[in-house]
Amino acid sequence: MSTIRTAETSSRLRCIVCGATPGSAGQDFRCTTCGDLLEFFFPGWTSNQDPPAFDPAALKSLWLNRRTSLDALDQSGVWRFRELLPHIPNPEEHVITLGEGNTPLYRLPRCARATGVKNLRAKHQGMNPTASFKDTGMTVAASSAHQGGFRWVACASTGNTSASMAAYAARGNMRSLVLIPDGKISWGKLSQSLDYGALTCQLRTDFDGCVRILNELVRQKPVYLLNSVNPYRIEGQKTAAIELMEQLAWEPPDHIIVPGGNLGNSSAIGKALLEMRELKLISRLPKLSIIQAHGANPFYRSVREFGGKKLEPMTADTLATAIRIGNPASWKKALRVLQATGGEVEEVTEVEIAAAKAEIGADGIGCEPASAVTLAGLKKLRRSGFVKPGEAVVLILTGHTLKDPDFTVKFHRGDLFTGTSGEIEGAPAKYLQRAPVVLDADLGAVIAALDAAERNSKC
């Protein structure tokens, strides 16, 4: 196993608000002085340091070479970048990997035409082992739990964190406790945590209610918290941005657009961008923009109405259940990277989300509803002039289309918005619907359907 350590690169914890630097974290991963969130920082990485912490060219070539290695850590698209992650002692014993990361970067030609942004791509984090971006953070945080000797790990979730946690816990011989809002997550995600052996509790509350119970629980029981307040999660999720830059030959795009729920992912991607610039791996920063669903938009309102000075929790409601979150834990971290990169925050409607999801699907890619807010947001950012036609844009697709097939089938059948205001608002999106055609088992009927489809595609 090869590593470059040309300088002091060990990581430390720091409170994002009061700056306290505790030697270790408590069970709730909050600062014992002021109660806010902790983050990792790397004291040896200051930009004016001589000699620099890393030789950027040597680091890039080391990471590239690992792509051909047979070592399990090198084959992981997370641990391949371990120089920029907190160190896990005895990785052979403690690292739990499912070969996460290494996700594709696709061009979206139809979406590019629809938005007028020629250089449009999607980094598909739904192509991870449990089909969402959560795996990149989970491999690091679950490994830290293993290294700490924990028997139980736990999370509150809208479905993807729980699926990922349950899988990594199972691989690491740990038990997992899942708290999910009853009836408000997709079956696909619920089925994953059952299959991976989690103790799955469906609580009669929403995601924010699950978080409140879990925060109390970790103070009373020796369970390891795996929500994204856990800074190890954020460190692992940084690697999506590092891998993206490698895929773009270290030439940053002008914009990166991410969905915003609990706001851990945007914080992680932004942190990676800032660190890569500090280490001279990239020479300029892309603008990182965050998109929320209108019915779950506390961060949008915080920035637009209160200049980011406070965040008012809300009761969230959206069909994009992954981001149905009213009190996002990492909003201060997300605000910092939004401001540092000069990004924008937007909100999109339910109909805009559904239409964008179908458009991404029509490019042969597909994603879950929460991921599609990125394309819907891009359309708004184009209309406001924040994104210009000649600029390069990357959407981060966070989950696989098979995570929530119910949503997709209802949209195409035309009953996703039945009985809601979306019924009228959604009329212009009808041309995107491809309802299944039910026919007799008759060759003539199939040929007639084929001919009709061909005629329609010409007009």
CA distance 397 to 257: 9
What are the φ and ψ backbone dihedral angles of 30, each rounded to 5 degrees?
-115, 155
Kindly tell me which residue out of 228, 318, 374, 408 binds ligand F0G, with binding defined by CB under 6 A. Answer: 228
Q: Would you state the structure tokens that stand for residue 299, as one six-digit string?
A: 């961060």
Q: Are 257 and 244 in contact (CB under 8 A)?
A: no
Q: Scanning residues 158 to 187, which ones bind ligand F0G (CB under 6 A)?
A: 158-161
* Beta strands at 345-348 and 287-293: parallel, antiparallel or unpaired: parallel
**Torsion of the alpha carbons at 5, 333, 260 and 295, rounded to the nearest 10:** 170
Q: Does residue 85 touch ligand F0G according to CB under 6 A?
A: no
Q: Does residue 289 touch ligand F0G according to CB under 6 A?
A: no
In the chain, the amino acid numbered 12 is R
Kindly tell me which residue out of 181, 231, 259, 366 binds ligand F0G, with binding defined by CB under 6 A. Answer: 259
Q: How many residues bind ligand F0G (CB under 6 A)?
A: 23
Residue span 301-330 as binding mask against ligand F0G, x where in contact by CB under 6 A, dash where not: ---------------------xx-------
C-alpha distances (whole Å) from 257 to each of 132, 156, 192, 328 are 16, 25, 27, 18
Q: Are 214 and 154 in contact (CB under 8 A)?
A: yes
Q: Does residue 101 touch ligand F0G according to CB under 6 A?
A: no
Q: Does residue 263 touch ligand F0G according to CB under 6 A?
A: yes
Q: Does residue 115 touch ligand F0G according to CB under 6 A?
A: no
Q: Scanning residues 363 to 392, which ones bind ligand F0G (CB under 6 A)?
A: 368, 370-371
Is 442 exposed, middle or buried, given 0-12, 13-18 or 19+ CB atoms closer than 10 A?
exposed
CA distance 282 to 275: 9
Kindly tell me which residue out of 260, 298, 343, 377 binds ligand F0G, with binding defined by CB under 6 A. Answer: 260
Closer CB to ligand F0G, residue 15 or residue 370?
370
Closer CB to ligand F0G, residue 75 or residue 125?
125
Kindly tell me which residue out of 252, 264, 308, 366 binds ligand F0G, with binding defined by CB under 6 A. Answer: 264
Min CB(368)–ligand F0G separation in Å: 5
Residue span 398-437 as binding mask against ligand F0G, x where in contact by CB under 6 A, dash where not: xx--------------------------------------
Closer CB to ligand F0G, residue 126 or residue 172?
126
Q: Would you state the structure tokens that stand for residue 45, as one six-digit string?
A: 């990485």
Q: Where are the alpha helices (DSSP H) in 238-281?
A: 239-247, 264-278
- Sheet containing strand 119-124, strands side by side: 105-107, 119-124, 392-397, 255-259, 287-293, 345-348
Q: Does residue 130 touch ligand F0G according to CB under 6 A?
A: no
Q: Name the site residues for ligand F0G (rule: CB under 6 A).
A: 132, 134, 157-161, 228, 259-266, 322-323, 368, 370-371, 398-399
